[in-house]
Chain A
Amino acid sequence: MRLVRAELGQLLRDARLRWIGAVLVILLSVALVGAWRQAARDADAVQRITQAERGRWLGQDAKNPHAADHYGLWVFKPSAPLAILDPGVEPYTGRMVRIEAHLFNDAVFRAVQDANPLTRAGLGSVADIVQLIVPLAVILLGFSAFAADRERGTLRLALGNGAAPGRLFTARLAALLSALALVIGAPLLVLGGLAAANLDAPGWEVWPRLVPWVAAQLAYAAAFLILAMTLSLTARTARAALAASLLAWVLLCVAAPRLATVGVEAAAPALSYRDTRARIDGAVRGHRTAEASDERAKAILARYGVTAPDALPVDLRGLMSSENEQHYFAVFDAAFGAFFDSLLRQERAYAWAGLLSPRIALQALSATLAGTDFPQHVRFVWAAEHYRRGISERMNRAIIDNPQGGERRYTAGHDLWETVPPFDYVPMPLAGATFAVPFAILAAWLAVLGGAAALAIRRLKP
């Protein structure tokens, strides 16, 4: 501890720490507060529109339930509170789905459509700053840890007078990590905690997510710190250590994610969205022909042992509509199931690509912990679809149970609309999230870099 205190004392004298620390705190705080304000505005808008939609649904005129099914309504995915730290895929996937008869609609309301230039440049969120800027800051703090001493000659004096390289490395690492915990961990935990608690909603498990999320960011920073310090152990000069560290940053933070994306697309190609929609359209069109419809009507009459629709104890159109929906459900399940499965396979492959770069591992881990990863979106899409199916089934059931014929026309009113519950999205719990692979890979990066540092320490020469 005495040595760590001494190293902290040395560090605090270094103007670099003050400047870099101040810049990081400002960058992170500005990004976080900006995201917090935007999230609060969005949450307010979502709440207002959701209430208005509910009112619109309940306040609709008396009409045939099938017309009500087409009348439809909008449902929203509540934004994950930790999206203010890592928006993950949320800005790109949409948070609002139109629920209506027969249609599996895409989610809209994509934040990226209204993004500012900084966000479009990939530097708008706290996670962007941590993933791209923090490693640079860490390199600027760590590159001189040993190389500057070697250049100055103080390393020779220290080692020749009994300084143990391992203890020295550990103490310097601990001092720098403490500084990073202060300038990165503290603002993220305090401001992030305040904001996330303020935006909290049932099922999001804010604190169980936030603490490991901050720990993951610090582990990522620690990986780059160990890397920079290891290069500093081996480089002849501080300038060489800085150049090597910056090269490593370019490879790991800039080049590797692009390479990984190309590799994953080749290794685990996703189904085309256009082809998926075309397959669905083909399957629906084939089912909707007049001939096919007549055949199904005849089959129903035969099943009930009657020859005319008026003789049925149920409503023929309601029954046919219900059976048609079951067919569409099966089509959607197969086509979109395969489509989303292919995207999820890509996600899993990309998580494994974390072996190429700790940034990739952190991206996957961070979004999963924040609840803004792609599986969370897929869960919402299917939750909205199941809600839609529930409404369709309820409307069709009402038609089936109230046969129409001759002059009889069935119309339903407020009582039926009220039987439709509000859309209540339950997010995927943290325990159900799949973060084992990126977590293990990030831990492996730390272990490998720690091993490399241990080797360099053993070979340390002044």
Chain B
Amino acid sequence: MRHAPDPVLAIGDVVKRFGGRTALDGLTLTLRAGEVFALLGPNGAGKTTTINLILGFLRADTGTVRVCGIDAGADPIVAREAIAYIPEQVALYPGLSGRENLRYFTTLAGLALARDEADRLLEQAGLAVEAHTRKAASYSKGMRQKVGIAIALARRARLLLLDEPTSGLDPSASADFSSVVRAAAARGTTVLMATHDLYRVKEVADRVGVLQAGRIVEEIDPARLDHAALERLYIERLAS
């Protein structure tokens, strides 16, 4: 008898409270290899808390978070080996160039990245060649985001976590970003994206979860809806 492989991400009935406030209230979510899941929700819905739990930066009060079968609460360092993460604000070392930042962060993760390979990844992430050797102190938010994407790509991780990945990106950079996400998913990477960007969600996500008050109140197949319908449904859900 063949067993189904472990899901890449399995969140089971997670509750997380901060003092008297409940941030997550029985969140359950399972993602399989190659899936792109968008977590939609207003500010304070629990999106960043969910990501922090997956990264092991927080521990759930109850429930479990497993990454590739590894308990992220109990063994966060091992769990993070399977994760690549792009925060909403990608912070880089201002005194290093984009290429040096990329090579340094990948070294921290235990990877050796040759200069050519670093340049190829930066190009793939959409960073102009002339910016590769420029100090990151002069980068715009979008450029820093692209270096973050290159770091994530270099990791070839099984799970890619994106926290508001397109906020602050210009339309062209957002479009580049969509193609990077789709390409990663095509290679079998599972993507969890916390966002407000309905347009990008419709474009890249296989499934959408609407998170409200710490639980997923609706799961949507974006392929079945056009942009306007998706937006309407989302607003209705938040209002209900």
Contact (Cβ within 8 A) A161 B155: yes
Q: Is A162 an interface residue (CB 8 A)?
A: yes
- A175 and B89 CA atoms in complex are apart in Å by 28
Q: Are B85 and A160 in contact (CB under 8 A)?
A: yes
Give the chain B neighbours of A157 by CB distance below 8 A: 85, 87, 90-92, 105, 148, 151
* Closest A residue to B157 using CB positions: A162
Interface hits, B37-65 → A, CB 8 Å:
55, 57
Q: Which B residues, 70 to 99, have Cβ-Cβ distances below 8 Å to chain A?
A: 77, 80-81, 83-85, 87, 89-93, 95-96
- B4 in contact (CB, < 8 A): no
Query: Which chain A residues lie closer than 8 Å to B106 at the CB level?
Result: 161
Contact B155 A165 (CB under 8 A): no
Contact of A152 among B91, B107, B112, B152 (CB under 8 A): B91
Residues of B near A162 (CB, < 8 A) are: 80-81, 83-84, 108-110, 155, 157
Q: What B residues does A461 contact at CB under 8 A?
A: 57
Q: Let me know if A160 and B91 touch, CB within 8 A.
A: no
Distance in angstroms between the alpha carbons of A461 and B161 in the assembled complex: 17
Q: How far is the CB of B193 from chain A (nearest CB, A)?
A: 14
Say whether B139 faces chain A, with CB atoms less than 8 Å apart. no
Interface residues on B, range: 20 to 34
Partner of B91, one of A6, A154, A159: A154
Partner among A13, A152, A166, A168 whose Cβ is within 8 Å of the Cβ of B108: A168
Report B-chain residues with C-beta under 8 Å of the C-beta of A250: none
- In the complex, residue of chain B having the shortest beta-carbon distance to the beta carbon of A162: B109
Q: Do most interface residues of chain A lie in helix, strand or loop, or is the interface mixed?
A: helix
Give chain A's interface residues, CB within 8 Å of chain B: 2-3, 6, 10, 13, 152-154, 156-168, 461-462
Tell whether B234 is near chain A: CB-to-CB under 8 Å.
Answer: no
Given contacts A3-B110, A153-B91, A157-B85, 16 further A-B contacts (CB under 8 A): A2-B107, A3-B108, A153-B89, A154-B92, A157-B105, A157-B148, A158-B109, A160-B55, A160-B84, A160-B85, A161-B108, A161-B109, A162-B84, A162-B109, A163-B105, A163-B109
Cα-based distance from A371 to B155 in the complex (angstroms): 55
Chain B residues within an 8 Å CB radius of A158: 105, 108-109
| A6 & B57 in contact (Cβ 8 Å cutoff) | no
Contact of A2 among B83, B85, B112 (CB under 8 A): B112
- Chain A residues contacting B151 (CB-CB under 8 Å) are 157, 161
CB<8 Å pairs between A and B, sample of 20: A3-B110, A10-B93, A13-B95, A152-B91, A153-B91, A154-B91, A154-B93, A157-B85, A157-B92, A157-B151, A158-B108, A158-B109, A161-B80, A161-B84, A161-B105, A162-B81, A162-B83, A164-B77, A166-B77, A167-B110
Q: Contact at B93–A156, with CB atoms within 8 Å?
A: no
**B57 lies within 8 A of A159 (CB):** yes
Determine the distance from Cα of A51 to Cα of B81 in the docked complex, in whole angstroms. 74
A contact residues around B81 at 8 Å (CB): 162
Q: Which residues on B sit within 8 Å (CB–CB) of A156?
A: 87, 91
The contact of B87 among A160, A163, A166, A168, by CB within 8 Å, is: A160
Q: CA–CA, A221 to B77, complex, Å?
A: 30
Q: Which residue of A lies closest to B82 (CB)?
A: A162
